[in-house]
A and B are shown apart, each in its own frame.
Chain A
Amino acid sequence: MSRLVPFLGAVLLGATPALAAGPDLGAVQQQATNWPAIFMFLFFVLFTLGITYRAAKGSKSAADFYAAGGGISARTNSLAIAGDYMSAASFLGISGLVYSSGFDGLIYSTGFLVGWPIVLFLIAERLRNLGKFTFADVASFRLDQTSIRIISATGTLVVVAFYLIAQMVGAGKLIQLLFGLPYLYAVVIVGALMIVYVAFGGMKATTWVQVIKACLLLGGATFMAGAVLYKYGFSPEKLFATATQTHPNGDAIMAPGGLVSNPIDSISLGVGLMFGTAGLPHILMRFFTVSDAQAARKSVFYATGLIGYFYILTFIIGFGGIALLMSDPSYFKLGADGTTYDKIKDMVGGTNMVAVNLANAVGGPYFLGFISAVAFATILAVVAGLTLAGASAISHDLYAQVFARGRTTEKAEVNLSKASAVGIGIVAIYLGYVFENQNVAFMVGLAFSVAASCNFPVLAMSILWRGTTTWGALLGGLVGLVAAVVMVVLSDAVWVKTFGHPKALFPYANPALFSMPLAFVTIWVVSTLDRTRRGNRERAAFDAQYVRSETGIGASGAHAH
């Protein structure tokens, strides 16, 4: 067990973990075709395609495409934000982690949640006030368009690429398990659907797909947690008591275990989870879909509540799995003698399938089909959001501002964005196929680390600190990006497990504790040393940005001409 826990920790390292994960799902057996699940999923797909069709008819301008015309309400946006965050990974991965090691699952739940208050207090309203379509718009508000957009778009694309690969591989494996479809089919279906949502429906369709899925997921998880608690007379104490009696580790599941055996690593993990949230491009884009700063503020508040509630549900579901599934041999692959099984390793479909198996235990085969369909829908919605963020970075940041230098039309830009979405989809299908048997568990962790070490410092410093200059932001972002990637490559997950070297050159699994401060310090030092005329002009331009970021007033002043 003590070996299993760090392993699961590594697997869980990002949001997707679980599904994404290697060995657990690596040896996946294709299951019998699950018709109820397939029908429910088809219904979801048809319904969301209908929404996409309507969104496509109403989407004309760039603002429609990138930001749903700015007409999303705070409540809707909060569901979309929560949906972006409640990946299949958080659902299946965290409930699986709670199932195998109890308390340790909470470390991830809390880590994923606490980034939100930071986003609210420091970023959300200012982002909306300065906001256009991508966070690069904000970071480059008073700095050099070309340099800042290149670094922001690079950060965005790196985050999107790693996140997307992990999701695609996870999707393929999960669908193999849940629906009994071959891996390649699954990857192609996910890729094709996300292209349709994004290329035709833009942000409007992507938002509504996310909202519907968030409601389904919250509804399904609420029912499941409710059914578990119902069996124990709504007494968590009784649930915990049964769980500790059933779990092979007994009382130890109520206490911190081996997941964070290394203090530095656990703090670094926390830093990455917390500040990575504030730098995820597909999440930051959501702040431009609401009408004003007040709505941005409210949507973070509601979203924090929804996400926190969801993590409490996953905790109950994990404990429900221990209490209700562990003593039932029908959920396990039995050993050679036909009666014994390892309560943790031998679960049918792997530990990540706890929530799915529990759905069967509390709601029967149709509820199992429902939860399977929701898990698929979840992946679909998350990859659509990522694709839109990537396509926006290519068209709005790189093409319109860097290559065309602003000499382009809105229509050409949106068309390029749609083409980029198709391109990203095809690349994602290809990568999903290529990486099928690779260990991709570290990739979500890497995506969070890059977001925390490149996107977040560039964004925060350009908004909050007068002294930031283009040179500082550019070099700082670059240093953060390179440091995060290099440290992960030299860590155990890649250097040893993928490349087969005997010893990791970077001792920790999570680089953020080092790479993020490095980025901030670089921005500070380089900006301070920057004595160029452009640097002086940029510092002088801070006041205008400051007024607008704090009040939204400059926004109207700036284009009243």
Chain B
Amino acid sequence: MSVTQTAGSSATADARTHHGNGALEMPEPDHRLDRIADHPIFKTLVHDRTRFGWILTGLMLFVYFGFIGLIAFDKALLATKVGGTASLGFYMGMFVIVFAFVLTGIYVARANTRYDRLSAELIRSLAK
């Protein structure tokens, strides 16, 4: 996709930019950037993605610190047996691991579809 291709070349290109410029380099004023910043698709994309990212971050913090909080304050609960030998704490620990993975999966799925599509639309409409 076009967005990612432009970003792709950045590493080498930037090396050049930075070697050439001094310590006081500032990003040069670029009217194209202002146009992008005010673009409705850009606003939707960024607002949506930022919000989604923070929601998922919040969920992860809640689950992990919930787990740690229970370990710190209610060990007895976690020691409760859940069928046979395995304890509730064991299942919760496994849940935290799986949850972290699933959460990254959810983000990537949405980013690969919705956000990449919005980025592509943005590039297309800017090219006009």
- List chain A positions with a Cβ less than 8 A from chain B: 61-63, 67, 69-70, 103, 106-107, 109-111, 113-114, 116-118, 120-122, 125, 128-129, 131-133, 137, 141-142, 144-146, 236-237, 240-241, 244, 251, 254-256, 260, 262-263, 266-267, 270, 274, 288, 291-295, 297-298, 300-301, 304-305, 308, 311-312, 400-402, 405-410, 413, 537, 541, 543-548, 550-559
> Which residue of B12, B20, B46, B53 contacts A121 across the interface (Cβ within 8 Å)?
B53
Distance in Å: Cβ of A152 to nearest Cβ of chain B: 14
Q: Is the CB of A301 within 8 A of B108?
A: yes
Q: Is the CB of B20 within 8 A of A550?
A: no
Q: Is the CB of B68 within 8 A of A270?
A: yes
Given A255-B89, A406-B18, verify A558-B97 contact (CB < 8 Å): no
Q: Is the CB of B93 within 8 A of A255?
A: no
Given A254-B86, A545-B27, verify A559-B11 contact (CB < 8 Å): no
Q: Is the CB of A114 within 8 A of B33?
A: no
> Which residue of A131, A311, A407 contacts B97 across the interface (Cβ within 8 Å)?
A311
Q: Is the CB of B4 within 8 A of A291?
A: yes
In the assembled complex, the Cα of A527 lies from the Cα of B81 at a distance in Å of 52
Q: Is the CB of B104 within 8 A of A120?
A: yes
Q: Is the CB of B97 within 8 A of A260?
A: no
The digit string for B54-94, where 1 denotes a CB below 8 A from any CB of A, is 10110010001101110111010011010111110110011
Q: Is the CB of A405 within 8 A of B100?
A: no
Q: Which residues of B contact A304 (CB under 8 A)?
A: 100-101, 104
Q: Is B10 at the interface (CB under 8 A from chain A)?
A: yes
Q: Is the CB of B28 within 8 A of A558?
A: yes
> Which residue of A116, A146, A406 contacts B20 across the interface (Cβ within 8 Å)?
A406
Q: Which residues of A contact B25 (CB under 8 A)?
A: 145, 406
Q: Is the CB of B15 within 8 A of A133?
A: yes
Contacts across chains A and B counted by CB atoms under 8 Å: 261
Using CB atoms, name the residue of chain B closest to A147: B23
In the assembled complex, the Cα of A311 lies from the Cα of B96 at a distance in Å of 12
Q: Which residues of A contact B15 (CB under 8 A)?
A: 61-63, 132-133, 410
Chain B residues numbered 19-44 whose CB sits less than 8 Å from any CB in chain A:
19-30, 32-34, 36-37, 42
Using CB atoms, name the residue of chain A closest to B57: A121
Distance in Å: Cβ of B76 to nearest Cβ of chain A: 8
Using CB atoms, name the residue of chain B closest to A290: B8
In the assembled complex, the Cα of A256 lies from the Cα of B68 at a distance in Å of 10
Q: Which residues of A contact B119 (CB under 8 A)?
A: 551
Distance in Å: Cβ of A295 to nearest Cβ of chain B: 8
Q: Is the CB of A541 within 8 A of B79?
A: no
Q: Is the CB of B27 within 8 A of A544?
A: yes
Q: Which residues of A contact B5 (CB under 8 A)?
A: 292
Q: Which residues of A contact B17 (CB under 8 A)?
A: 558-559
> Which residue of B1, B24, B30, B98 contacts A554 across the interface (Cβ within 8 Å)?
B30
Q: Is the CB of B69 within 8 A of A553?
A: no
In the assembled complex, the Cα of A401 lies from the Cα of B5 at a distance in Å of 28
Q: Which residues of B contact A266 (CB under 8 A)?
A: 68, 71-72
> Which residue of B30, B71, B81 contacts A558 across the interface (Cβ within 8 Å)?
B30
Given A103-B87, A553-B36, A559-B13, verify A254-B18 contact (CB < 8 Å): no
Q: Which residues of B contact A407 (CB under 8 A)?
A: 22
Q: Is the CB of B23 within 8 A of A110?
A: no
Given A106-B90, A237-B83, A559-B14, output 9 extra A-B contacts at Cβ < 8 Å: A107-B68, A141-B27, A266-B72, A274-B64, A409-B19, A413-B19, A546-B46, A550-B49, A557-B32
Q: Is the CB of B56 within 8 A of A117?
A: yes
Q: Is the CB of B85 within 8 A of A244?
A: yes
Q: Which residues of A contact B128 (CB under 8 A)?
A: none
Given A110-B96, A113-B100, A559-B17, verify A144-B24 contact (CB < 8 Å): yes
Distance in Å: Cβ of B13 to nearest Cβ of chain A: 5
Q: Which residues of A contact B29 (CB under 8 A)?
A: 544
Q: Is the CB of B11 within 8 A of A256?
A: no
Q: Which residues of B contact A133 (CB under 8 A)?
A: 11, 15
Q: Is the CB of A270 within 8 A of B26?
A: no
Q: Is the CB of A121 within 8 A of B26?
A: no
Given A308-B97, A559-B16, verify A267-B4 contact (CB < 8 Å): no
Q: Is the CB of B11 within 8 A of A406?
A: no
In the assembled complex, the Cα of A477 lies from the Cα of B78 at a distance in Å of 38
Query: Closest 7 A-B residue pairs measured CB to CB?
Result: A552-B7, A255-B79, A263-B72, A292-B4, A106-B93, A555-B10, A556-B6
In the assembled complex, the Cα of A311 lies from the Cα of B93 at a distance in Å of 11
Q: Which residues of A contact B28 (CB under 8 A)?
A: 558
